[in-house]
Amino acid sequence: MPKGSLFLIPVPLAESSADKVLTVYQQDLINNISTYIVENEKTARYWLKQMHLKIPQSELLLHTYGKHSEKTDISTYFTELEAGQDVGLMSEAGCPAVADPGSEIVSEAHRRGIKVVPMVGPSSILLALMASGFSGQSFTFHGYLPIDKVQRSKRIKELENLAERHNQTQIFIETPFRNNQILEELLRSCSSKTQLCVAVNITAEDEQIISKPVEQWRKLKVDFHKKPAIFLIYK
């Protein structure tokens, strides 16, 4: 029996943004799949509804992975795929397996010889890079910076040096409730001429994308507290 395919289904980044990012193909696909591997069942069901799901939610089978799951054996996620059913993999927001624990699922799918199908959709990392005006030829995503203030300051200087040495955009994220603290640290640690972009609430109605030298940032009054943000440094 042929195995099913694992479809990597991007999730909208912001409330009321589904129609901005949803393709006709994706809408057709979610109405032909009844099994999903998701990071959080509640939010997955919400986004499937926003993405114009027509199948009754009671008919869906959702496996949870990552921090919201008690399962430790990921083989249980592949029962339907091994039986020939197509399955969708969804993140909490944005693209599955990018800054997301879904990469473990994708890796196991390849190991099992299951076809992996990535789908077009919003990636806050790439959207921020596109809108920054910084180098899109060479860039690195670093995930989260250290929580410890001393280590975080040291890491920021390292990223600044990397940006200058390699003419490379340095990209990272932060837990939303620490956005203002990381911004303050960036303005303290970086040189005045360093370019800084902060992209907040991408695709939302109150989206903000500000790209300026640090010396100009120091004159601004902004509040990014508890707002999903991407930070980019360039020299």
- The topology under which CATH files domain 5-118 is Cobalt-precorrin-4 Transmethylase; domain 1 (3.40.1010)
Amino acid (1-letter code) at residue 53: L
For the chain, residues classed under CATH 3.30.950.10 are 124-234
Render pLDDT for 91-131 as a digit per residue (tens, 0 to 9): 998 999 998 889 999 999 999 999 999 999 999 999 999 99
Determine how β-strand 195-200 pairs with β-strand 208-213. Answer: antiparallel
- What residues pair up with 200 in beta bridges, in sequence order? 208, 229
CATH 3.30.950.10 assigned to domain 124-234? The reply is: yes
Cα-trace Rg, the chain = 20
What pLDDT is recorded for position 74? 87
Render pLDDT for 55-74 as a digit per residue (tens, 0 to 9): 999 999 999 987 655 666 88
Render pLDDT for 153-176 as a digit per residue (tens, 0 to 9): 999 999 999 999 999 999 999 999
Q: Tell me the C-alpha distance between 105 and 107, whole Å.
A: 5
For the chain, residues classed under CATH 3.40.1010.10 are 5-118
